[in-house]
Amino acid sequence: MCKAFPFIAAMFVLIVTTGTFNAFTVRRLLEDKSFNFIPIVVISEIVFIFTLLNFLQTAFTDPGVLQKENEEESDNDFHTPLFKNVIINNMTVRLKYCDTCQFYRPPRTSHCSMCNRCIENFDHHCPWVNNCVGRRNYRFFFCFLMWLSLHIVLTLSLCIFRCATVRPLWSDIPSLIVAIVCFLTVFPIIGLLSFHIALIKMGLTTNEQVTHKFSGSDNPYTHGCAKNFINLFCKAKPLRYLGYKEMCNTKPRLPFFRREHGYKLQPNEDNVSEYSLQVENTDV
Ligand SMILES: [Zn+2]
Ligand SMILES: [Zn+2]
C-alpha cells in the first residue's frame, strides 16, 4: 500500500466533510432568519483554515532529520562502543550508537524505521501526516490537534442544532452524515489532545512515555509545566540539519560529533545551553 494513503485519506475526509457541512448545513442555517448564525459560521471557517494549515505544516516540515554520516568517509569500526553516557541536568543519560546513521544518537533522538532516519526529539511516526513528529514540527502537530478538536466540536454542535430543528430528520441527510462523522472522531481526537497536554506537562515525548524511559527516575528534560508550554509555543524553530546550504551560510552542527573528536563525544554549544550538558569520560 502507498505510504501516503492514510495522509490522502485523512485529507479527503477533512475536506469532504467540511465541504458538505458548508454546502448544506451552513447554507441552510444562514437561510434561517430567526437567528443570526453569521458570527459562529465565520469563527468555524477560521478554525477550519488553521486546522488545515497546521495539518499541512506538520506533514511538510522537516521534523528534525539528522544527516547520516557520509558512508565513504565513515570507517565502520567494530570497536565503537554501543553506548556512551552523558550527564544532562545532573542526570546520567545513555546515548546509543546508530548503526544506520553512524553516530551516537543525541539526547531524545530515535531512529524511525519508516523514514529510516534519526529524528531529533522523536515523538512518533504519524501515518496520518505521512511524516515523523519531532523537534521541528511538534508545535504544528499539537496546534493541529487543538484546532481540529475545536473544528469538530463546532461542526458537531451546528449539525446537531440543524438536525434538532429540521422536520422530518431525513430531509437533511448531509447534516446527519456530518454529525455522525464528527461524533465518531470527536472522542479519539480530544483524547489524543489530552494525552499530549499531559505529555507536555511532564516534559516527555510519546516515545519516552510508551517506552517508560523515565518511569524509575527523574526526567532530565522537563523545565516545569509552565516553561514546557512556553518553550513549545515561543521558542524559535531550530534550523534544519538537511538542506542548510539553501537556508544559511553556516552549517548547523550535529549535536554530537564522532569523527572530529575521535570517539569522544563533544557537545555543541546549543545543547549545552538547552540541557546544561556534560560529557562523561567513561565509556560503557
Ligand atoms: Zn539513525
Ligand atoms: Zn518517520
Task: Note the pLDDT tens digit of each residue in 93-119.
Answer: 888 888 888 878 888 899 999 999 999
Sequence-distant (≥ 6) Cβ neighbours of residue 190 within 8 angstroms: 149
Same domain, yes or no: 33 and 128: yes
Same domain, yes or no: 60 and 84: no
Same domain, yes or no: 82 and 137: no
**According to the model, what pLDDT value does residue 57 have?**
97
Same domain, yes or no: 1 and 60: yes
Cα four-point dihedral sign 101, 83, 119, 14: positive
Same domain, yes or no: 125 and 19: yes
Which three three-digit cell numbers place residue 46? 477560521
Say how many C-beta atoms besides its own lie within 10 A of residue 182's C-beta: 22
Could you tell me if residue 245 is inside a domain? no
Give the integer Cα–Cα distance in Å for 252 and 238: 9
What range defines the domain where residue 27 resides? 1-64+121-238
Same domain, yes or no: 80 and 110: yes
Give the integer Cα–Cα distance in Å for 240 and 64: 6
For residue 103, the CA-to-ligand 2 centroid distance in Å is 18
Same domain, yes or no: 101 and 129: no
Question: Across the chain, how many H-helices and E-strands are there?
Answer: 9, 9
For residue 189, the CA-to-ligand 2 centroid distance in Å is 21
Annotation marks residue 126 as catalytic: yes
| % pLDDT > 90, the chain | 53
Place of cell 568517509: 73
Same domain, yes or no: 104 and 181: no
Same domain, yes or no: 126 and 95: no
pLDDT digits (tens, 9 = 90+) for 159-192: 999 998 888 877 889 999 999 999 999 999 999 9
Is the model's pLDDT at 41 over the cut of 90? yes
Give the integer Cα–Cα distance in Å for 238 and 250: 14
Least confident of 142-146, 182-186, 276-280: 276-280
pTM exceeds 0.75, yes or no = yes
Nearest ligand by distance to the CA of 132? 2
Same domain, yes or no: 147 and 234: yes
- Residue 80 confidence class, pLDDT cut points 50, 70, 90: low
Same domain, yes or no: 112 and 189: no
As to burial, measured by CB atoms within 10 angstroms (0-12 exposed, 13-18 middle, 19+ buried), residue 208 is: buried
For residue 69, the CA-to-ligand 2 centroid distance in Å is 18
**According to the model, what pLDDT value does residue 119 have?**
93
For residue 112, the CA-to-ligand 2 centroid distance in Å is 5
**Coil, strand or helix: which one is 101?**
coil
